[in-house]
Amino acid sequence: MTQPTSYWIVYEGDNETLGPATYYVSNTNRWAVSTVGYFTGVANPQWQSTSIVPDQLVGNLDSQIFRTARISASSLRYYGLGLLNGNYTVTLQFFETAIVAPSWRNLGRRVFDVYIQGNRVLENFNIRKEAGGAALQAVQKVYSAQVSENYLEIHLFWAGKGTCCIPRQGAYGPSISAISATADFTLPVPNKPSNGKNRTDLIVGTVVGVGVLSFLSVLVVLYILRKRKQLLTNVDEALRNKCRPFSFSYTELKTATEDFNPAIKLGEGGFGPVYKGTLKDGRVIAVKQLSETSHQGKNQFIAEIATISAVQHRNLVKLYGCCSEGDKRLLVYEFLENGSLDRALFGKRSLNLNWSMRYHICLGIARGLAYLHEESRLRIVHRDVKASNILLDSGLIPKISDFGLAKLYDDKKTHISTRVAGTIGYLAPEYAMRGHLTEKADVFAFGVVGLEIVSGRPNSDPSLEDEKILSP
């Protein structure tokens, strides 16, 4: 622990009145703050704490920043906005303002985690413990952070650890007094305007530059075409490698599906049509055919093979194999007699599902997601949990299918940032608006599916009034 200093650093006061779910952007647009969580058992909860700064800090210029601290019951995020991309030194200043009394009351423990740019830098952080058990002692933490998208995110999160009611109700959750971010690089300075003396040089330089630029443009186009060809070759090679252990011939699948007879077409997926088929050994299968014109579908095709080959569970659809011959690409799954859940609930021939059946369908989906998120060797976010991607076997056991959008994630990070993909009506707000993906995106979608199962209605229906729609 070192004594903090504010020399050469200008702090802006965070005096905004926040609540249990608030997002605030400062008047200068340089920073923003968000809070989530409600202090239980507190009559008039406050999201700011004050303290009496001890004598030894009164003469220090930094004493002012420790007179108040921003607190939260669960999640507290600060954002640095409009930053130049590059490396920054981030300084966090802490000062325990609540657990200070020299009695049994100082046995309280405020414990929380700190993340910078999604990476956990402090786990089970306790301000008093970090200060060596001393009360009213400032703590400073310094970290390096990389800004790549012009913003910095600092997340303080209470994971339910420590005490909650000592010395009083609501004395828990993250707390911080000051944050600063200093660029580790020289900020750009505008160039001086050129004078008339350099005009000739400028003209000559421009003409030569245009010629060079044209030449470089040709090289870039040739490079892009070459990389695109190489990418397609790599995709084809990856498909062959993935399919090699359990491959089917195109002729075999063509025979099994009666030359892809439209009469036995089961539906249309994100890749293309899905057909029912019967192999020579008597196994009934579902064959998913990849559209020949879908380049994005090829990548999702590989993702689905890789993902579902790595996981096996009673509530996940079973992959028998695949086919990759020239431009023919197909996936072969177990056939599930009762089709998709959305057809069972909303189709013309909907199944008569009693409450016990609906309960066990919900439970089965939850078990499948729990396996993907917590129990499998690979941590997987499905990203497209919806009623049409839940299939039912003859015993109405639900099986999660369609892993083309699935993502692997690191459970040591709060989230991963990615392009938004999925189905409107099932997208979690934080994922839809900011691209922050965690397993909670699947949990949100599961909640929507649960509402559909219980109510027997789809989550969106244009014919209904807005207040009668289950989700936005």
Q: How far is CA 299 from the centre of its chain?
A: 20
Residue 308: phi and psi, rounded to 5, are -75, -20
CA of residue 334 relative to chain centroid, distance: 31
CB 321 within 8 A of CB 304: no
The token duo for 449 is 């599916």
Three-state SS string over 433-469 comes to HHCEECCHHHHHHHHHHHHHHHHCCCCCCCCCCHHHC
d(CA 463, CA 461): 5
66 exposure class (CB count in 10 Å sphere: 0-12, 13-18, 19+): buried
Identify whether 188 is preceded by a cis peptide bond (ω within 30 of 0). no
- Look at residues 315, 331, 321, 318 and name the one whose alpha carbon lies nearest to residue 266: 331
Q: Which residue(s) pair with 125 in the sheet?
A: 112
CB atoms within 10 A of CB 68: 18
Catalogue the active-site residues: 384
Q: How many residues does the chain have?
A: 472
Q: How far is it, in rounded angstroms, from Cα 273 to Cα 289?
A: 6
Please spell the DSSP secondary structure of 306-341, one letter per residue: HHHHH---TTBPPEEEEEEETTEEEEEEE--TT-BH
Q: Which of 57, 56, 35, 55 is nearest to 46 (CA)?
A: 35
Please list, in sequence order, all residues whose beta carbon lies within 8 angstroms of the beta carbon of residue 216, skipping any fewer than 6 positions away: none
| Closest to 57 in 3D by CA, of 140, 154, 124, 133 | 140
Provide the phi-psi class of 59: left if phi over 0, else alpha when psi is between -120 and 50, else beta. alpha
Tell me if residue 470 falls in helix, strand or coil: coil
